Amino acid sequence: MKYAFLIALREYLENAKTKGFWIGLFLFPAIIFGSMQVPVWLEKKGTPTRHFVLVDPSGQFERVAVDALEKNHQRRVIQELQAYARKHSQNRSATSGPPAQAVSGTSAARKSIEPLLRELSATTPDALERFQRQGGQKFYLEQLQPFLDPAAPAFEEPRRRFQRAELPAGLKPDMEWATLTQELRAYLRGGKEVSVNGHASELFAAILIPADIEKRIVRPGVTATLVPDPAKGVEYWSGNLADTELREQVERAINEEIRRREFVLRGMDLATIQQVQRTHVPLADLNPKKEEGQERVSRVDVMRQWAPTAFVYLLWIAIFSIVQMLLNNTIEEAEKAKQQHPCADYPDQPSHASPHLPWVVITGG
């Protein structure tokens, strides 16, 4: 074990003399940081706003789909508001006075802003409805203003991921279905662009809801012969097969509305069903190792808990990135030493080992 350590030490020192070793040493943390931050940046800045057209001659699900997309956008607004408040919250009086008062003032601001942050981070079924009912972004920014740093930048609403565009000129929702889809193909393939707020934009997707959508709903227990064509329900046209978020949101919204109508159709009390769905029990995370009165688990506590895991992962990567190089060098040195000092010279030793092998390797043979 002693000789193996000396071999590894020598190989490490040899590699430490190269430029590639130091370049890799400093580049590795940058790569790890980039692998975590680049996806976040691409999600916020890299992906452009997707434009789509929605055609619903039946008039039954157009509003449902649009409202669902708006709710998803408002959820992203809530998340950004939380991050904005946590980053820029500070007691205005903390900028003046002795350092001890400043620290105390900042702590007081954190405590006073916590009820607002808890309200924004609520995960109850009616949390989003309450956010919109109280005035949304504008209302909460006004509530947060007293606790924000005076130098804090203005809040930037996240860019919408999906924005509806009007049908191109010459196309109408009540026109022949085959003709409509054929005309939209040119826009979906990028040959033509749609107009959005006076600007030409690429059409990402087209959502077409048939006029007889009620007849195409698949209901369990209904004989298959009564369903004209279960596969031909709502049509989602898009050349981008990788980004399915728009499709999933619209599909979920329409199906939830269909189920809601089924509850009503079957005589179930919708208000009672909604009350049952919103029934929940709050659960607080408490740490028995913390002082009395401060047992509530914060985000800092969670990050502190997982920090060792991150360092162990980095250690694992570091070991596996260098162990192969060390192993190859050790094998090469062993083969060279074996040629210079054949095992036949040491009959008392096993055929695969030489008592002078480690020393020969270290001294370079």
- pLDDT grade for 98, boundaries at 50, 70 and 90: very low
228 close to 215: Cβ distance less than 8 angstroms? yes
Q: Average pLDDT, stretch 18-28?
A: 76
Tokens linked to 141: 């920014």
Helical H runs in 147-244? 177-188
Average pLDDT taken over every residue of the chain:
78
The residue ranking higher by pLDDT, 22 or 63, is: 63
- Predicted pLDDT at 186: 92
Listed residue (165, 230, 204) closest to 50, CA to CA = 204
Task: Count the Cβ atoms, other than its own, within 10 Å of residue 265.
Answer: 8
Helix (H) or strand (E) holding 7: helix 2-16
Q: What is the pLDDT of residues 34-87, one digit of tens each?
A: 877 777 776 666 678 899 999 999 899 999 999 999 999 999 999 888 888 888
**Residue 364 predicted with pLDDT over 60:** no
- Predicted pLDDT at 356: 44
**Residue 271 predicted with pLDDT over 60:** yes
Query: What are the contacts of 67-70 at 24+ separation with CB within 8 A?
Result: 67/253, 68/249, 68/250, 68/252, 68/253, 69/162, 69/164, 69/246, 69/249, 69/250, 69/253
Task: Count the Cβ atoms, other than its own, within 10 Å of residue 196.
Answer: 16
Contacts of 257 (CB under 8 A, 6+ apart): 61, 64
Q: How far apart are alpha carbons 62 and 339 in whole angstroms?
A: 81
Q: How far apart are alpha carbons 37 and 331 in whole angstroms?
A: 40
Q: What is the pLDDT of residues 187-232, one digit of tens each?
A: 999 889 998 888 899 999 999 999 888 888 887 766 444 545 545 7
Q: In percent, how much of the chain has pLDDT > 90?
A: 20
Q: Average pLDDT, stretch 151-156?
A: 88
- Predicted pLDDT at 335: 77
- Predicted pLDDT at 336: 75
212 close to 58: Cβ distance less than 8 angstroms? yes
333 close to 7: Cβ distance less than 8 angstroms? yes
**Residue 112 predicted with pLDDT over 90:** no
- Predicted pLDDT at 126: 76
Q: What is the pLDDT of residues 260-269, one digit of tens each?
A: 998 888 888 8
Lowest mean pLDDT among 132-141, 165-174, 197-206: 132-141
The residue ranking higher by pLDDT, 23 or 43, is: 23
334 close to 357: Cβ distance less than 8 angstroms? yes
Q: How far apart are alpha carbons 115 and 121 in whole angstroms?
A: 10
- Predicted pLDDT at 106: 46
Best-predicted range by mean pLDDT (238-242, 311-315, 351-355):
238-242
For 135: left if phi > 0, alpha if psi spans -120 to 50, otherwise beta; the answer is left
Q: For the chain, percent helix, then strand, then coil, each to nearest 5?
A: 60, 10, 35
Specify the amino acid at residue 243: D
